[in-house]
Structure 1
């Protein structure tokens, strides 16, 4: 087993306090957002990554270096899974939707996290044809129509968490990743895919959202609500069952 911590944060409540923690380049990028909701998510996501680095490396948040060099392609472009420079044993993943930001991290295994807003207007039949394996699609089709959107997004978050852990992104077709069991499976894993089984865990997030965690070891999980950022990241106690108090859904913003 490996210790895994997941921070759950409300962008509406915390983005103003997060903004001073950004680098100059991040602050400039944040000002280019047209959507205030998307801007808040970006600001809080980057601030939480910096605070994680500050806590683990013992340096001020503004001195934390976040690397994004792709480790899977020869070009090594600036599009890979983020990592903290100077902390090679630490793995983390971040995701956001609505007004929620999740950051999962572990010193003992690789992690991937995904959260989505439960949008009942989506068309599971159309999206499922492109992203689900045949058995997953059959299971979805067997459900009452009203239950299909939530089940589709449950599967989607598990797939996204797996590919984010591996760092492959959408270079791996989601339909090739089977997630209808306790682990993610691929018939023909691509180069660089983890050799270890990818364990999948549903995360208890507020009503209106669904979230999943992928790990390369069975997780000893602690979910923590981010309460404040004024003196570093201030966390609530580990939550059992329900991760946080209910947060209003702010539709139209996602990863």
Structure 2
């Protein structure tokens, strides 16, 4: 196990080529993003900041073997459901790096971190871990992963590689709200791929923050998506008794990618 831990530490340090993004998502903040070169989050979460760590996912045989040793049985079962080796390996490494981060915060070995899952699959720390109010979320697309951490507030993050898709219009018609689809179709053809993924990541980050998964009707809320328009929730049909307020931010984690973060106001 000691050799595995050394391999994992090399794996982690080898991914520190993409900067840490610190997003101040407090109610009275303009939501400024700034870049640093740290390999670890600032766990103090000063001024209510939400920390987003962005990492490349190495999928060499050594990296996957080292990462797989850290996963739980549930995670391995989930990994085995992927049809393609590439997707399975990225999932394994992404989850191992999450465990590396959480283990560093908790002062425990990555493989000893116990995760529990909400009704719709949102991961959280088991109650036995302290601090119990640490919230996190993760997303990956191709070889890029994003990890979001916050103190005492629900968060969701989503990242996607921007690309042209032959069925984008059909997907937008099915999953975007009427308002979003109208805005999307009004975009110049050159702007549509980025507009599509701005909308997709913002909606995905929001339902991940809610913890509702795909059980949340996607036409229950509208998000902005036009080029140059700030990321925000334009309309939200609240569930009875839900008075929570949300902040939404978009950022470019790497060339050719877009990402969105949604955080509950503190």
**Which category of TM-score, normalised to the shorter sequence, fits these structures?**
0.7 to 0.9
Measure the CA separation in 2 of the matches of 1:81 and 1:113: 12
Query: Deviation string for 1:123-143 (max 9, x for gaps)?
Result: 332122122223322222221
Match of 1:67 in 2: 116
Match of 1:171 in 2: 215
* Structure with more relative contact order (C-alpha pairs < 8 Å, separation 6 or more): 1
Match of 1:135 in 2: 179
Whether 1:204 aligns to 2:252 is: yes
Match of 1:23 in 2: 72
Measure the CA separation in 2 of the matches of 1:69 and 1:187: 22
Alpha-carbon deviation of 1:156? 0.8
Query: Deviation string for 1:44-96 (max 9, x for gaps)?
Result: 222123223212221111111000142xxxxxxxx431001124201111111
Match of 1:75 in 2: none
TM-score normalised by L of structure 2: 0.70
1:69-148 alignment, distance < 5 Å: 69-70=118-119, 79-85=120-126, 86=129, 87-148=131-192
Equivalent pairs, count: 209
TM-score normalised by L of structure 1: 0.73
Over 3 Å counting, the alpha-carbon distance change for 1:134 and 1:31 in structure 2 is: closer
Over 3 Å counting, the alpha-carbon distance change for 1:176 and 1:27 in structure 2 is: closer
Measure the CA separation in 2 of the matches of 1:95 and 1:202: 14
| Contact 1:3 1:108 survives alignment (8 Å) | no
Whether 1:44 aligns to 2:93 is: yes
| Contact 2:58 2:93 survives alignment (8 Å) | no
Over 3 Å counting, the alpha-carbon distance change for 1:43 and 1:102 in structure 2 is: same
| Contact 1:7 1:104 survives alignment (8 Å) | yes
Measure the CA separation in 1 of the matches of 2:241 and 2:139: 22
| Contact 1:18 1:47 survives alignment (8 Å) | yes
Measure the CA separation in 1 of the matches of 2:174 and 2:81: 32
Match of 1:184 in 2: 233
Measure the CA separation in 2 of the matches of 1:33 and 1:138: 34
Measure the CA separation in 1 of the matches of 2:241 and 2:160: 26
Measure the CA separation in 1 of the matches of 2:77 and 2:214: 27
Unaligned runs of 5+ in 2: 1-25, 27-47, 225-229
